[in-house]
Structure 1
Amino acid sequence: MSINVPRGTEDLLPEATKKWQAIEDKLNHLAQVYNYKEIRTPIFERTELFQRGVGDTTDIVQKEMYSFDDRGGRSLTLRPEGTASVARAYVQHKMHGLPEQPTKLYYIGPMFRYERPQQGRTRQFTQFGIEAIGSANPAIDAEVMAFAMDCYQALGLKSLKLVINSLGDQESREAHRNALINHFKPFKDELCSDCQQRLEKNPLRLLDCKVDKDHEAMLNAPSILEYLNEESSTYFEEVKKHLDTMGINYVVDETLVRGLDYYTHTAFEIMSEADGFGSITTLSGGGRYSGLVKELGGPDISGIGFALSIERLIMALDAEGVKLERDESVDCYVINIGSESKYEASNIVNQLRRSGIKVDQDYLDKKVKGQFKSADRLEATYAIIIGEEEIQNGVANVKNLKSGDQKTIEIKNIPSEIKTGF
């Protein structure tokens, strides 16, 4: 009986990883352009990190985490998101003491959530994300949103919508929280069991409920924008002014809330408006967090970031018919003729690779015709033909498979001749 991958996971075969590598190349390049440095954190962390950092009233912590006890009885969790881990590393390594602030970091790697698998939503998924920690300047909010939009636009997507909102500071959130409790209390028995629990603990999470989203109480719930104090309102206006000046289009949606407890002030999502993308149109999201670093034992400083799913990005590319090209051809294919030539063929392959030239050879003892077919399938530019007579003379016949030109080259000179081209 064969063993298949676990439900909610998938194998990415070479034909698929070509697309992934092209995406990763572009994202890594953008991170350099924006001056963000890569950070790599463990795939599992202490469970307490996500309980404190993400919030124990969130669906992620309550329902979706892969947690287990190790042999020492310590509770560990496969990371469900990246921000808490980055913030933990920031605090642990005292990165707030670095002379250049904010500290601008990016990551890419697998995340894990136990949820019902569906198109664009798997139990193991890959996130690319950034965090800018150490500044409460509205300009960095605009930079992060510009970075997020660039991730999609640089890959060729056009049907995009940036949606923004403000969740306000702690004072504004508390005023809005009380208004939400008073608004939803008369409807408590009509809400789903999750929302009934959230009502007292974190009523803002009701606005993100998928079950009760069409309930009348949801449709006319108090807007956070009505409860922003002067400082929060001014901050939001500054963010919008930066976006306006940068020429970045956006839509304000006062119902937008993020699913994690650490968000304050700016929150945003990027949607796909492409035909055929599906019912779940959100591609990525992010926002500002003002209490997370302090909660994890660091100084009372603010950060902002976003994360995108590579899987959903690929869905959007497919929906818009965007093709990503990545050169998978080889420069050379070494063809050996005769039983003794295979040893010299391995030597030539090795020398070419040491010179940074992409090359392959036959490992199935194919006839000459079959080896040429392999060279064609690999779209090789050159075929290097080596036989016993060539070995005796210290040369090889090199054929340009694109032009048909052929010349005899000393074996020791093959790498330099290939780099020069003919």
Structure 2
Amino acid sequence: MSDSNKKLAKLSGVKGMNDILPQESVLWEYLEATVRSMLRAYGYQNVRTPIVEHTQLFTRGIGEVTDIVEKEMYSFTDALNGENLTLRPENTAAVVRAAIEHSLLYDGPKRLWYTGPMFRHERPQRGRYRQFHQVGVEALGFAGPDADAEIILMCQRLWDDLGLTGVRLEINSLGQPAERAAHREHLIAYLEQHQDKLDEDGKRRLYTNPLRVLDTKNPALQEIANQAPKLIDFLGEASLAHFNGVQQLLKANNIPFTINPRLVRGLDYYNLTVFEWITDKLGAQGTIAGGGRYDPLIEQLGGKPTPACGWALGVERIIELLKESDLGPAPEGCDIYVVHQGDNARVQGLVAAERLRDAGLDVIFHCSADGATASFKSQMKRADASGAAYAVIIGDREVEAGVVGVKPLRGAHGDAAGQEDKQAEVPIEQLTEFLIDAMVATVDDE
């Protein structure tokens, strides 16, 4: 068999990097539109950073002894110039880098938001993928507990706008570096007493990042973690006042929460307030959003000392939750489907479709799949399946007479049209006006 006749092997996507197909993208578009509307209400502006950044941005910003940097980053050396680059595993560090590089804070604090894909090399499972998507907000230049409380309130508003229920809020305070250092000393001493019971991950973190031992998911270590010294007991007056201020503002807005002293998050740049929004409907991957305050990060990445806080939500997890709760919009059909038969009718039909689009209507023009024009019957089946409200029908007779056929395909409530919905014959120059009037009348009837 010649090389030209060999059957090519079928290619598939990378495991854990998923296609988003049309039937699912409806939910994605719904979520994105809801998020944009909510963020606009809080005065946030969109920022878009590259998918690839210098590796040092994440090792310096996230922390070298975090899971992300140690095990999960997609890093490589650029063959062109030898630079060490990484597919972004999160976006806060990148947004801060952009703010510093372009002097965004020169004229005062900024409220920024982003959305896009992130990348982490880990075992794919439900709600945890190698390419995943996040929406995040960064409030740069705000020091008070009101900023922390407001970004938490934003999440609650989003859950309300989406109709999500059963999402609970957990909060904690990580205090300031000196307070964490004092707690760290006591925590290490405590964990050393139980070193023989720690798993390999716990032993590895004992002296590098002992706070993360408290965040263990290992059931055998839960009691050890529960009895460990609590960071909140080491907080000074200013840190406690900040944390109490956040709680007061949440209570004033009727936002229920639980203080979880083991909540530390997985990134080294956090201080003071941290929080997570959690659901029990998604199994192990129950955290759908999380964040907190990260005052040290801007200086850590080369900027002037500047307070900041923010959060990120997992888009795939929210989509799963919308599905689980049977929420979100039904797929929308178009307004008009143009059916045609004959060369002259095809020309006239395409012209009519463009004029209808000029008027703001959504129009599908029937195109042949194999180069041959399908029958009227076959085209009408496609028109009905499209969800269109009306079919515009053009054949040689209609072209000669200067008219088009207009047939309702849906009843007043979007169901299939009944026998009483007869086809009308409309002069071509009156088609746009006729259809707009008909659609307005249908809405009024509803």
| TM-score > 0.5 by shorter chain | yes
Q: Deviations over 1:22-71 (max 9, x none)?
A: 11111111111111111111111110000011111100000000001112
Quote the offset at 1:185 in angstroms.
2.4
Within the candidate set 69, 75, 82, 1:67 is matched to 75
- Show the 5 A alignment for 1:4-403: 4-71=12-79, 72-99=81-108, 101=109, 103-211=110-218, 214=221, 216-274=223-281, 277-319=282-324, 321-364=325-368, 365-402=373-410
Q: Deviations over 1:254-279 (max 9, x none)?
A: 111110000000010111134xx313
- One-letter amino acid matched to 1:142: A
Unaligned runs of 5+ in 2: 1-8, 412-420, 442-446
**What percent identity do the matched residue pairs reach?**
39
| Corresponding residue SS for 2:207 | helix
The alpha-carbon distance between structure 1 residues 250 and 124, as it changes in their structure 2 partners (threshold 3 A), is same
Query: In 2, distance between residues paired with 1:126 and 1:252?
Result: 28
Quote the offset at 1:213 in angstroms.
6.1
- One-letter amino acid matched to 2:198: L
- One-letter amino acid matched to 1:22: Y
Query: In 2, distance between residues paired with 1:19 and 1:119?
Result: 17
| Corresponding residue SS for 1:221 | coil
| Corresponding residue SS for 2:149 | helix
| Corresponding residue SS for 1:356 | coil
| Residue 416 (structure 1) aligned with residue 433 (structure 2) | yes
Query: In 1, distance between residues paired with 2:268 and 2:220?
Result: 19
Query: In 1, distance between residues paired with 2:432 and 2:85?
Result: 51
| Corresponding residue SS for 1:201 | coil
Q: How many residues align?
A: 417
Quote the offset at 1:326 in angstroms.
4.3
Query: In 2, distance between residues paired with 1:302 and 1:317?
Result: 34
The 10-residue stretch of structure 1 (339-348 or 78-87) with the greater mean CA deviation from structure 2: 339-348
Q: Deviations over 1:177-227 (max 9, x none)?
A: 122122222333543344334322322122123347625432311001100
Query: In 2, distance between residues paired with 1:27 and 1:266?
Result: 23
| 8 A contact 2:263–2:274 mirrored in 1 | yes
Query: In 2, distance between residues paired with 1:316 and 1:360?
Result: 32
What is the CA RMSD across the aligned residues, in angstroms? Answer: 1.8
- One-letter amino acid matched to 1:88: R
| Corresponding residue SS for 1:154 | helix
The 10-residue stretch of structure 1 (392-401 or 375-384) with the greater mean CA deviation from structure 2: 392-401
Quote the offset at 1:405 in angstroms.
4.7
- One-letter amino acid matched to 2:67: D
| Corresponding residue SS for 2:212 | helix
Quote the offset at 1:282 in angstroms.
1.7
Q: Deviations over 1:232-256 (max 9, x none)?
A: 0111001100001011110111111
Query: In 1, distance between residues paired with 2:174 and 2:409?
Result: 62
Q: Deviations over 1:371-422 (max 9, x none)?
A: 1111111121111111223223433222233362543333233233322326
| Corresponding residue SS for 1:270 | strand
Query: In 2, distance between residues paired with 1:150 and 1:56?
Result: 35
| 8 A contact 1:156–1:322 mirrored in 2 | no
| 8 A contact 2:115–2:135 mirrored in 1 | yes
The alpha-carbon distance between structure 1 residues 137 and 114, as it changes in their structure 2 partners (threshold 3 A), is same
Q: Deviations over 1:141-188 (max 9, x none)?
A: 011111122222321111111000010012211211122122222333
Unaligned runs of 5+ in 1: none
Query: In 2, distance between residues paired with 1:195 and 1:366?
Result: 67
TM-score, with structure 1 as normaliser:
0.94
| 8 A contact 2:184–2:211 mirrored in 1 | yes
- One-letter amino acid matched to 1:416: E
